[in-house]
């Protein structure tokens, strides 16, 4: 391709191992393959059936996160059942057999796959990164093309380090203005999805652009890109800049000294060229939103925390309100919360925990609300403990857990009971996502923390002003 190119075009061009032909899509080379216990066993089984080796174990990393417990009883992990324990053991066996590095429970590098990739410096600008998990879009915060794949594709990448890809279209979302105090990247992405809908990004790679995006730190950019999939896009990107380079310098798996300077020189060429054309362009004013909460069963069904829940406009919204036990015309504010969950690959990094701790410091949670704080990785946990955040959480009345996906997904023992309502910093408010019959209100870490104090959906801003 000649002429001005987008960030995505540049990554695509550099990874076409075989260009598309009349009867096949392009063969795209995968730089970094992350795997976990839930979507890999059937892939390894497929390799086994066909007697295939793993082509590049040195480009593959494994962690356990989805089905592991975040609770220990008498020093031993409290697995939900034999099946989850077996899933973890199966991954360990497969990694040993194929020479793939794995972060096991208790390892200093273990954590949610989308939290540890960046931490370890495996997530770098310009790379192609895949994982059998739709929130792989998170890694796009570094200007990497990162997307979720299915298990059969996991097998393809294990065997060939490549995938067949139809070229996605490009969507620019230009975010202008400034986020108001108490409003975070989580609120921003919820606002964007509310405005443009849950399938606005279908078939596209999103590039988030503009002053409001440049102003975000790396962890906030990860939150933004994380939920691209909730807007229907498999991948979201932010152009790499000084913030990105600063984050990466000195990390394990990132070269130092001259090697690093060379890398940065390459990375500087990645941002979309002046005049590059996107297939579609949207714009959004970051200053137009307040802290957001979801009232329904998909992430577009949200409103500002002080707004009234809108009247349902179709049967789906009516069904959602019924499922949530909510009434249109009344704000969510003050609606009792049984559980507050601060965790997940969306919002369990150190900056998220610091933000929550600022709200909780010196205060007590409402006795009717159970507060669960689950760090995204062992590293985040150590850092939080070094800063005394665990003490802040515990003295506020929270449970402080071991790293994992926990109550983001009801498959590891942490889950809601039917009709319980959770204010959650995770990314999906689908029916039953946090437990059959459970009701999820998605929100930012500060909104979640404020809700734990109030025992009900709360506006975080009064807690931040003093």
Partner 1 sequence: MEPVVRIASRTVVLAADNVDTDQIIPARFLTGTSREGLGASLFADWRRDGAGNLRPEFPLNQPEADGARILVAGANFGCGSSREHAPWALTDYGFAAVVSPSIADIFKGNAVRNGLVPVEIESQAHQRLLSRPGAEIVIAVEAGTVSLPGGGTARFELPPFARRCLLTGRGPLDFLLEQGPAISRYEREMSEVAGRGSSGAADPS
Closest to partner 1 by CB, 194 vs 428, is 428
253 binds partner 1 (CB under 8 A): yes
Copy the structure tokens of residue 380. 């985040």
Residues 282-341 touching ligand SF4, rule: CB under 6 A, are none
- Cα–Cα distance measured from residue 270 to residue 285, given in angstroms and rounded to the nearest whole number: 25
The residue from 37, 133, 290, 317 that contacts ligand SF4 (CB under 6 A) is 133
Q: Which is nearer to ligand SF4, 155 or 345 (CB)?
A: 345
Told to check if 107 binds partner 1 by CB under 8 A, we report: no
**199 contacts partner 1 (rule: CB under 8 A):** yes
Nearest to 117 by CA among 62, 172, 166, 155: 62
Contact 67, 80 (CB under 8 A): yes
- Candidates 10, 135, 186, 415: give the one binding ligand SF4 (CB under 6 A): 135
Does residue 158 belong to the site contacting ligand SF4 (CB under 6 A)?
Answer: no
* 295 in contact with partner 1 (CB under 8 A): no
Cα→Cα distances 340→250, 307, 355, 415, Å: 35, 21, 15, 11
Give the DSSP letter string of 273-288.
PTT---SEEEEEEGGG
Question: What DSSP designation does 186 have?
Answer: H
Nearest to 292 by CA among 461, 465, 115, 462: 461
Whether 365 contacts 392, CB under 8 Å = no
Q: Of 86-125, which residues contact ligand SF4 (CB under 6 A)?
A: 112, 114
Binding status of residue 345 toward ligand SF4 by CB under 6 A = yes
The two most distant CA atoms of the chain are separated, in Å, by 65
* Residue 219 binds to ligand SF4 (criterion: CB under 6 A): no
Q: Between residues 39 and 447, which has the closer beta carbon with respect to ligand SF4?
A: 39
Asked if residue 298 binds partner 1 (CB under 8 A), the reply is yes
**From the CB of 409, what's the least distance to ligand SF4, in Å?**
4
The one among 92, 98, 104, 164 contacting partner 1 by CB under 8 A: 164
Alpha-carbon span 310 to 415, nearest angstrom: 28
Considering only the stretches 175-183, 281-289, 402-410, 436-444, report the one whose residues sit in contact with ligand SF4 under the rule CB under 6 A.
Answer: 402-410
Stretch that binds ligand SF4, among 233-241, 351-359, 389-397, 405-413 (CB under 6 A): 405-413
Query: Does 411 engage in binding with partner 1 (CB under 8 A)?
Result: yes
- Cβ pair 351, 217 in contact under 8 A: yes
> 293 or 408, CB closer to ligand SF4?
408
At its nearest, how many Å lie between partner 1 and the CB of residue 404?
13
Measured distance CA(192)–CA(179) in Å, rounded: 13
Q: Which does 318 bind (CB under 5 to 8 A by kind): ligand SF4, partner 1, none?
A: none
**1 contacts partner 1 (rule: CB under 8 A):** no
Q: Which option in partner 1, ligand SF4, none does residue 265 bind, with CB closer than 5 to 8 A by kind?
A: partner 1
Residues 340-359 that bind partner 1 (CB under 8 A): none
Q: Output the CA–CA distances (angstroms, integers) from residue 449 to 172, 421, 422, 423, in the order listed.
A: 33, 15, 12, 9
Helix (H) or strand (E) holding 442: strand 439-442
Size of the site for partner 1 (CB under 8 A): 90
- 119/133 with CB nearer ligand SF4: 133
The interface with ligand SF4 within residues 410-429 (CB under 6 A) comprises 426-427
Q: Does 78 bind partner 1 (CB under 8 A)?
A: no
197 vs 455 by CB, closer to partner 1: 197
Taking the C-alpha atoms of residue 218 and residue 242, their distance in angstroms, rounded to an integer, is 10
**Helix, strand, coil fractions of the chain, as percent rounded to 5:** 35, 20, 45
| Residue 97: how many other CB atoms lie within 10 Å | 13
Please choose, from the candidates 355, 353, 356, the residue with its C-alpha nearest in 3D space to the C-alpha of residue 379.
Answer: 353
| Choice from 344, 366, 369, 429 touching ligand SF4 (CB under 6 A) | 344
Give whichever of 131 and 175 is closer to ligand SF4, judged by the CB atom.
131
With beta carbons less than 8 A apart as the criterion, state whether 412 and 374 touch: no
Report the alpha-carbon angle 239-244-247, nearest 5: 165
Closest distance between ligand SF4 and the C-beta of residue 410, in Å?
Answer: 10
Among positions 14-73, residues that touch ligand SF4 (CB under 6 A) are 65-66
In angstroms, rounded to a whole number, what is the distance separating the alpha carbons of residues 47 and 40? 11
DSSP symbols for 189-204: HHHHHHHH-TTTTTTE
Total number of residues shown for the chain: 466
Q: Which does 345 bind (CB under 5 to 8 A by kind): ligand SF4, partner 1, none?
A: ligand SF4
* Residue 127 binding partner 1, by CB under 8 A: yes
Residues of this chain that bind ligand SF4 (CB under 6 A): 65-66, 112, 114, 133, 135, 344-345, 405, 408-409, 426-427
């Amino acid at each position: 391709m000649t002429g001005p190119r987008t960030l995505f075009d540049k990554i695509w061009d550099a990874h076409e191992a075989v260009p598309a032909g009349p009867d096949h899509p392009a063969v795209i080379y995968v730089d970094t393959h992350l795997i976990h216990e839930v979507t890999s066993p059937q892939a390894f089984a497929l390799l086994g059936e066909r007697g295939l080796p793993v082509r590049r174990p040195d480009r593959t990393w494994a962690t356990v996160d989805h089905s592991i417990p975040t609770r220990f009883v008498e020093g031993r992990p409290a697995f939900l059942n034999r099946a989850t324990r077996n899933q973890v053991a199966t991954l360990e066996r497969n990694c040993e057999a194929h020479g793939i590095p794995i972060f096991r429970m208790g390892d200093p590098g273990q954590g949610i796959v989308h939290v540890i990739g960046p931490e370890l410096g495996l997530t770098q600008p310009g790379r192609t990164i895949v994982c059998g998990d739709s929130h792989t879009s998170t890694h796009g915060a570094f200007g990497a093309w990162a997307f979720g794949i299915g298990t059969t594709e996991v097998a393809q990448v294990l065997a060939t380090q490549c995938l067949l890809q139809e070229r996605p279209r490009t969507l620019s979302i230009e975010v202008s203005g400034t986020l108001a105090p108490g409003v975070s990247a989580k609120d921003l992405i919820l606002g964007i999805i509310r405005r443009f809908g849950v399938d606005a990004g279908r078939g596209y790679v999103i590039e988030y652009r503009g002053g409001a995006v440049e102003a975000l730190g790396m962890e906030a950019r990860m939150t933004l890109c994380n939920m691209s999939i909730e807007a229907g896009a498999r991948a979201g990107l932010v152009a790499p800049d000084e913030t990105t380079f600063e984050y990466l310098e000195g990390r394990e798996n990132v070269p130092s000294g001259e090697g690093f300077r060379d890398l940065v020189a390459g990375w500087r060429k990645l941002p979309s060229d002046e005049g590059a054309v996107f297939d579609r362009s949207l714009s959004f004013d970051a200053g137009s939103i307040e802290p957001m909460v979801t009232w329904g069963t998909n992430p577009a069904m949200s409103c500002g925390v002080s707004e009234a829940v809108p009247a349902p406009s179709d049967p789906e919204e009516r069904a959602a309100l019924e499922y949530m036990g909510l009434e249109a015309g009344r704000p969510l504010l003050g609606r009792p919360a049984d559980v507050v969950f601060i965790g997940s690959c969306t919002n369990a990094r150190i900056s998220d925990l610091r933000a929550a701790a600022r709200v909780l410091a010196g205060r007590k949670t409402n006795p009717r609300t159970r507060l669960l704080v689950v760090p995204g990785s062992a590293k985040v946990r150590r850092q939080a403990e070094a800063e005394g955040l665990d003490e802040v959480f515990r003295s506020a009345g929270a449970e402080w857990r071991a790293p994992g996906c926990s109550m983001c997904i009801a498959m590891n023992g942490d889950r809601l009971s039917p009709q319980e309502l959770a204010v959650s910093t995770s990314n999906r408010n689908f029916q039953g996502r946090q437990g059959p019959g459970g009701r999820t209100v998605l929100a930012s870490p500060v909104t979640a923390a404020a809700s734990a104090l109030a025992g009900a959906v709360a506006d975080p801003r009064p807690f931040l002003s003093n």
